[in-house]
Amino acid sequence: MSITQDIDDVLAYIKEASPGQDEFYQAAHEVLYSLIPLLEQDSRYMEFNILERIVVPERSVIFRVNWIDDQGKIQTNVGYRIQFNSTIGPYKGGLRFHPSVNLGIVKFLGFEQIFKNSLTGLQIGGAKGGSNFDPKEKSDNEIMRFCQSFMSELYKHIGKHRDVPAGDIGVGAREIGYLFGQYKKLTGEFDGILTGKGLNWGGSLVRKEATGYGSVYFAQNFLEACGKDLKGKKCTVSGSGNVAIYTIEKLYEFGAIPISCSDSKGTIYHEEGIDLLRLKTIKEMHHDSLESYADIDCSCVYTPVRDYPKDGHAVWDIACDVAFPSATQNELTLRDAKKLKENGCILINEGANMPTTAEALKFIRKTDILFSPGKAANAGGVATSQLEMSQNASMAQWSFEEVDIKLRQIMKNIFKMAYDTSVEFECEGDLVTGANIAGFRKVADSMIEQGAV
């Protein structure tokens, strides 16, 4: 049987066994097809049935989360923890709290995390979790009670050598604090069972900034390899959360001009460059909408969210040299990709997980636009989480500079590994293929070494 037929069979199995899990199917389709050159070169992966094994999570935990709102009413949400693959280390990956969270979304994120974590060169397996809980419009006490209830179930499944969750959309320092407090109360143990912790109780410097900073380091590495750099480049950024904010901060340090940000309600285009302090005040301090950014006396333009995806995302209509999609999955459509090409964009650097739709990616890969896939470009967050775990294990706290130097080096190594792998498989600069093969190969080889478990 041909390799393509085998891949199609695995994809057909996913469709049948996981109906309606479109994002998971999309992620699996992209990864499996990009592995063809490796599978042709080395027959062991088929012999040991790695494809069929790697698309099934080792364990899926789905649980009910009951919590009491401020009116005293009992509310119910669904919680998930998908422990996808622990071949090269304990399960590691974030928790997402957003109304759109469902099994398919958590599975796509967990699947991507396997290869991302492998690319970091560190010993961490892949997992993801979360809930369809919507933190918006909730009081601090409601968020605390939800986090406590969520942890009352999750604590049974995690551990510092077993599974170490972290943040993602809707889960930041505040939520990690409430989750950690409840874990400690339930177990009586002060353990590094979460990353992204507060700096006074086991957190690592640079973890907050790491995904955004790492994304910019990755872009700079890619541009340098092509004889270019970020200095003076107009950059569009989508999102206005953790990843977007620290992407913008680092872009300024590299002499680039970040000219946009967005949230679920609208987009800001600020030609002179985003006012970072204002953005942080609105988003980090007040958890407010970006609409208020446009109140200041400046030449910025606010575009309320359009009929999306039909009319595309306003961010990608803005002419730029480099685009940093840093909000959520499938936020950059074929229409948007065509617009970016038309406007002369030279690099799309994914800060979010799978922000580019399959159709847009197919189009981009046929153009001369450079493309950094999220599992490589946004791996700085999870890599720094692992540095937090290392510090916890040795009860040490490294300086900001020490952690940042390590992060820069890790991003350089990831870029080099993805790039060198693209050269090895005769598609120089195709980092989708390079990152997928490099991430997969390490996990698959280790699965073979560990036997059929």
Catalytic residues: 128
The yes or no reply on residue 148 touching ligand 2IT (CB under 6 A) is no
- Quote the DSSP letter at residue 95: E
**Residue the block writes with tokens 């604090």:** 177
The yes or no reply on residue 382 touching ligand 2IT (CB under 6 A) is yes
Question: Site for ligand 2IT (CB under 6 A): which residue of 86, 195, 260, 421?
Answer: 195
The yes or no reply on residue 163 touching ligand 2IT (CB under 6 A) is no
Nearer residue to ligand NDP within complex by CB, 28 or 169? 169
Nearer residue to ligand 2IT within complex by CB, 260 or 353? 353
The yes or no reply on residue 247 touching ligand NDP (CB under 6 A) is no
In the complex, least distance from residue 261 CB atom to ligand NDP, rounded to whole angstroms: 8
**Contact between residue 222 and residue 349 where contact means Cβ atoms under 8 Å apart:** yes
**Cα R_g (the chain), whole angstroms:** 21
The site string for ligand NDP over 45-74 (x = CB under 6 A, - otherwise) reads: ------------------------------
Greatest distance between any 2 Cα atoms in the chain: 66
Helix (H, G, I), strand (E, B) or coil at 272: coil
Nearer residue to ligand 2IT within complex by CB, 192 or 312? 192
Asked if the peptide bond before residue 309 counts as cis, ω within 30 degrees of 0, the response is yes
Q: In 3D, which of 302, 273, 275, 272 has the Cα closest to residue 289?
A: 302
- Quote the DSSP letter at residue 296: S
Question: Site for ligand NDP (CB under 6 A): which residue of 241, 258, 373, 439?
Answer: 241
CA distance 357 to 104: 16
Nearer residue to ligand NDP within complex by CB, 98 or 233? 98
**Dihedral (Cα; 38, 42, 48, 49), 10-degree rounding:** 40
Q: What are the structure tokens assigned to 84, written together?
A: 């996808």
The yes or no reply on residue 266 touching ligand NDP (CB under 6 A) is no
Binding residues for ligand NDP, how many (CB under 6 A)?
A: 25
Q: What are the structure tokens assigned to 94, written together?
A: 């974030």
Stretch that binds ligand 2IT, among 91-99, 279-287, 296-304, 360-368 (CB under 6 A): 91-99
The alpha carbon of 269 is separated from its chain's Cα centroid by a whole number of angstroms, namely 24
The site string for ligand NDP over 289-328 (x = CB under 6 A, - otherwise) reads: -------------------------------------xxx
The yes or no reply on residue 166 touching ligand 2IT (CB under 6 A) is yes
Question: Site for ligand NDP (CB under 6 A): which residue of 247, 349, 378, 392?
Answer: 378
The alpha carbon of 312 is separated from its chain's Cα centroid by a whole number of angstroms, namely 22
CA distance 22 to 79: 19
CA distance 123 to 273: 39
Question: Site for ligand NDP (CB under 6 A): which residue of 353, 386, 392, 422?
Answer: 353
The yes or no reply on residue 242 touching ligand NDP (CB under 6 A) is yes
In the complex, least distance from residue 120 CB atom to ligand NDP, rounded to whole angstroms: 11
The yes or no reply on residue 243 touching ligand NDP (CB under 6 A) is yes
Alpha-carbon distances, residue 38 vs 12, 45, 118, 135, 381 (angstroms): 21, 9, 17, 43, 28
Enumerate residues 6+ apart whose C-beta is below 8 A from 150.
65, 79, 131, 133, 179
The yes or no reply on residue 92 touching ligand 2IT (CB under 6 A) is yes
Would you say how long the chain is, in residues? Answer: 453
The binder of 92, among ligand 2IT, ligand NDP, none, by C-beta within 5 to 8 A per type, is: ligand 2IT
Helix (H, G, I), strand (E, B) or coil at 392: helix
CA distance 11 to 33: 10
The yes or no reply on residue 93 touching ligand 2IT (CB under 6 A) is yes
Question: Site for ligand 2IT (CB under 6 A): which residue of 373, 381, 434, 439?
Answer: 381
**Contact between residue 132 and residue 92 where contact means Cβ atoms under 8 Å apart:** no
Binding to ligand 2IT, residues 308-347 (CB under 6 A) = none
Number of helices followed by number of strands (H, E) in the chain: 17, 13
In the complex, least distance from residue 216 CB atom to ligand 2IT, rounded to whole angstroms: 16
The yes or no reply on residue 380 touching ligand 2IT (CB under 6 A) is no
The yes or no reply on residue 267 touching ligand NDP (CB under 6 A) is no
The yes or no reply on residue 352 touching ligand NDP (CB under 6 A) is yes
- Residues engaged in binding ligand NDP (CB under 6 A): 98, 100, 167-170, 172, 211, 239-244, 263-265, 326-328, 351-353, 378, 381
- Residues engaged in binding ligand 2IT (CB under 6 A): 92-94, 116, 166, 168, 195, 353, 381-382, 385
